[in-house]
């Protein structure tokens, strides 16, 4: 059979794996939903959590579709569809595909057609290199979370501070990243200010949502404050970039 | 207590089955392509590609696993480590849901809420990618339009600006030191950028926990 990176059989195989991923998500959703009702969480509250999560996900998911389009130029559609539906991210997949292709004497972004052997090699490198988390979680998850429960039993206040510290640690790393090109401003490249200003706009919008809720009692606005701030913050990047970019 | 333990135990049991099955399924993809087309991998290319890619991502994966599990909860962890995009999507979704529901991550309510948020986010992401794949021809010029490119390039600043202002204002005492450290590092160390931010997350987490512990022991929190 002649190989083609967009062969229907590849679409079929990827479709089956993606269906399994959907199956796992639906299974855990139903399981958690039922448990939530059992322990007394109101259905309306669960629905709000679900709808906020869904709305919030739309913009980042569209960005993932753009990543699929970007990678499909070299790898066809099925492999990027698989890789970005399971585990992956654009930066990782690009590095993995690029390393695999250059190891075979190819240049990422300039490949017109892959042989079956090259395709398998790229797919295997992309899969195996990011494989750790999937099987490591079953090995350590229970023990780690039991440790958290033990810590909470010993000192409830510290357990809460510990949990908040983890979130703050992650957020601080991403806030630092926003400023990573700032020094360029002093050499005449104002593009480094774009992410800083977008972050600022988004933060102000979040505060504004909180103020509107406090002033007018609009509960819906606090439920959707994060997706609203995310989307309007992203939209603000368009005029900011045209001014500074 | 017994009911709670059995729910958590069932999450771990089911999560283990799902994740190991997904691991096998993912490995099967290149194997089956090889069998169908009667081709094998280019072993030299595979080993060299793996050597160039895997050491860093295995190290990051190891640290991420231990860092993210306590934040994601059990169900959220099993799902997130299969569906990916953890720091830029699944974790913010979970954090926002916990905030919205006003529950603690370590409580059973927190476990339920973060699992629901992550599951919904995974489903929506998967469905949007499917729609994108089906409609790729009409969507490509639209999504690649130069006018929209700046917006999609700034997802992380927009996301963490909104998320940061909420968490930092609520936990300002423990936020000062890590935010200053990360600003200094990212501004003055050229190697730190979009490609390395994932590596800095565990650094930020360990540093913040250490600073918080000192403040807590001194009675400042």
pLDDT band for position A2 (50/70/90)? confident
Residues A203 and A92 in one domain: no
Residues A116 and A44 in one domain: yes
Indicate the DSSP class of residue B104: -
**Does residue B179 belong to any structural domain of this protein?**
yes
- Hey, what are A113's tokens? 């057609």
A 80-119 near B (Cβ less than 8 A): 81-82, 84-89, 91-92, 95-96, 99-104, 115-119
A210, burial (CB in 10 Å: exposed 0-12, middle 13-18, buried 19+) = middle
**Does residue B43 belong to any structural domain of this protein?**
no
Residue A87: closest CA among chain B residues belongs to which residue? B84
Domain count within chain B = 1
Alpha-carbon distance B159 to A229, whole Å?
8
DSSP string, A166-197: HHHHHHHHHHHHHTTTGGGGGGT-GGGHHHHH
Nearest to A117 among B42, B47, B163 (CB): B42
Tens-digit pLDDT profile for residues B27-55:
999 999 999 999 999 999 999 999 988 88
Q: How many CB pairs under 8 A join A and B?
A: 543
B96, A33 contact by CB (below 8 A): no
Q: Is A208 on the interface with B (CB under 8 A)?
A: no
Task: Tell me the chain B residues in contact with residue A195 when contact means C-beta distances shorter than 8 Å.
Answer: 154, 156-157
Q: In this complex, do B64 and A133 lie within 8 Å of one another by their Cβ atoms?
A: yes
Alpha-carbon distance B57 to B44, whole Å?
20
Question: 3-class DSSP state for residue B181?
Answer: helix
Residues A58 and A117 in one domain: yes
pLDDT band for position B165 (50/70/90)? very high
Domain count within chain A = 3
| Confidence at residue B1, expressed as pLDDT on a 0 to 100 scale | 47
Alpha-carbon distance A172 to A164, whole Å?
12
Q: Which among A68, A103, A130 is the end of a domain? A: A130
**Does residue B19 belong to any structural domain of this protein?**
no
pLDDT band for position B5 (50/70/90)? low
Mean pLDDT, residues B154-178 taken together: 93
| Confidence at residue B125, expressed as pLDDT on a 0 to 100 scale | 95
**Does residue A1 belong to any structural domain of this protein?**
no
**Does residue B20 belong to any structural domain of this protein?**
no
Range of the domain at A235: 181-245
Residues A142 and A76 in one domain: no
Tens-digit pLDDT profile for residues A102-155:
889 888 877 778 999 999 999 999 999 988 889 999 999 999 999 988 988 899
**Does residue B38 belong to any structural domain of this protein?**
no
Tens-digit pLDDT profile for residues A16-37:
999 999 999 999 999 999 999 9
Residue B116: closest CA among chain A residues belongs to which residue? A29
Percent of chain B at pLDDT > 70 equals 98
Residues A144 and A167 in one domain: yes
Shortest Cα distance, chain A CAs vs residue B173, angstroms: 10
**Does residue B131 belong to any structural domain of this protein?**
no
**Does residue B16 belong to any structural domain of this protein?**
no
A 143-202 near B (Cβ less than 8 A): 144-145, 148-149, 152, 157-183, 194-196, 198-202
**Does residue A2 belong to any structural domain of this protein?**
no
B174, B211 contact by CB (below 8 A): yes
B 52-111 near A (Cβ less than 8 A): 52-54, 57-58, 61-62, 64-67, 69-71, 73-75, 77-79, 81-85, 87-89, 91-93, 95-97, 100-101, 104-106, 108-109, 111
Residues A171 and A72 in one domain: no
**Does residue A81 belong to any structural domain of this protein?**
yes
**Does residue A170 belong to any structural domain of this protein?**
yes
Tens-digit pLDDT profile for residues B63-83:
889 989 999 999 999 999 999
Residues A148 and A221 in one domain: no
Cα three-residue angle B57-A17-B12, rounded to 5 degrees: 70
Give the pTM.
Answer: 0.87
Residues A196 and A152 in one domain: no
Residues A117 and A20 in one domain: yes
Alpha-carbon distance A111 to B43, whole Å?
20
- Hey, what are A109's tokens? 């972004």
Tens-digit pLDDT profile for residues A60-86:
899 899 989 988 988 999 999 999 999
Residue B3 pLDDT > 60: no
Q: In this complex, do A46 and B116 lie within 8 Å of one another by their Cβ atoms?
A: yes
Q: Is B146 on the interface with A (CB under 8 A)?
A: no
A55, B95 contact by CB (below 8 A): no
Range of the domain at B190: 171-221
- Hey, what are A11's tokens? 């679409």
Q: What is the mean pLDDT of chain B?
A: 91
Residues A54 and A160 in one domain: no
What value of ipTM does the predicted structure carry?
0.87
Residues A141 and A232 in one domain: no
Phi, psi at residue A175, to the nearest 5°?
Answer: -65, -40
Q: In this complex, do B84 and A234 lie within 8 Å of one another by their Cβ atoms?
A: no
Q: Is A214 on the interface with B (CB under 8 A)?
A: no
Residues A16 and A116 in one domain: yes
**Does residue B176 belong to any structural domain of this protein?**
yes
**Does residue A106 belong to any structural domain of this protein?**
yes
């Amino acid at each position: 059979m002649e190989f083609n990176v967009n062969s229907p059989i590849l679409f079929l195989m990827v479709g089956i794996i993606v269906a399994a991923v959907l199956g796992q998500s639906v299974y855990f959703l139903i399981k958690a939903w039922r448990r939530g009702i059992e322990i007394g969480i109101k259905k309306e509250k669960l629905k709000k959590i679900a709808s906020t999560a869904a709305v919030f996900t739309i913009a980042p998911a569209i960005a993932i579709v753009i990543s699929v389009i970007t990678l499909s130029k070299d790898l066809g559609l099925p492999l990027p569809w698989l890789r970005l539906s399971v585990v992956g991210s654009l930066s990782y997949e690009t590095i993995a595909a690029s390393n695999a292709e250059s190891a075979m004497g190819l240049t990422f972004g300039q490949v017109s057609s892959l042989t079956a052997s090259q395709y398998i090699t790229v797919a295997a490198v992309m899969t195996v290199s990011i494989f750790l988390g999937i099987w490591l979680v079953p090995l350590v998850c229970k023990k780690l979370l039991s440790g958290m429960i033990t810590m909470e039993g010993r000192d409830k206040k510290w357990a809460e501070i510990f949990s908040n510290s983890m979130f703050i640690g992650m957020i601080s790393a991403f806030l630092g990243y926003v400023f990573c090109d700032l020094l360029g401003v002093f050499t005449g490249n104002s593009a480094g200010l774009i992410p800083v200003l977008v972050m600022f706009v988004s933060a102000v919008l979040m505060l504004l949502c909180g103020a509107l809720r406090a002033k007018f009692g609009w509960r819906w606005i606090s439920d959707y404050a994060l997706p609203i701030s995310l989307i309007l913050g992203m939209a603000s990047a368009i005029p900011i970039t045209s001014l500074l970019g | 207590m017994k009911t709670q333990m059995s729910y958590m135990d069932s999450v771990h049991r089911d999560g283990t089955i799902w994740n190991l099955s997904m691991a096998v399924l993912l490995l099967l993809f290149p194997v089956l392509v090889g069998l169908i087309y009667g081709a094998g991998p280019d072993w030299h290319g595979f080993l060299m590609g793996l050597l160039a890619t895997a050491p860093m991502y295995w190290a990051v994966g190891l640290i991420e696993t231990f860092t993210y599990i306590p934040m994601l909860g059990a169900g959220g962890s099993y799902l997130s480590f299969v569906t990916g995009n953890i720091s830029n999507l699944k974790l913010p979704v979970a954090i926002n849901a916990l905030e919205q529901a006003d529950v603690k991550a370590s409580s059973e309510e927190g476990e339920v809420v973060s699992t629901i948020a992550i599951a919904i986010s995974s489903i929506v992401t998967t469905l949007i990618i499917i729609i994108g794949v089906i409609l790729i021809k009409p969507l490509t010029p639209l999504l690649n339009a130069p006018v929209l490119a700046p917006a999609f390039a700034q997802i992380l600043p927009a996301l963490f600006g909104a998320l940061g202002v909420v968490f930092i204002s609520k936990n300002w005492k423990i936020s000062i030191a890590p935010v200053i450290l990360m600003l200094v590092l990212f501004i003055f160390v050229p190697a730190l950028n979009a490609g390395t931010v994932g590596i800095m997350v565990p650094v930020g987490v360990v540093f913040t926990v250490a600073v918080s512990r000192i403040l807590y022991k001194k009675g400042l929190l």
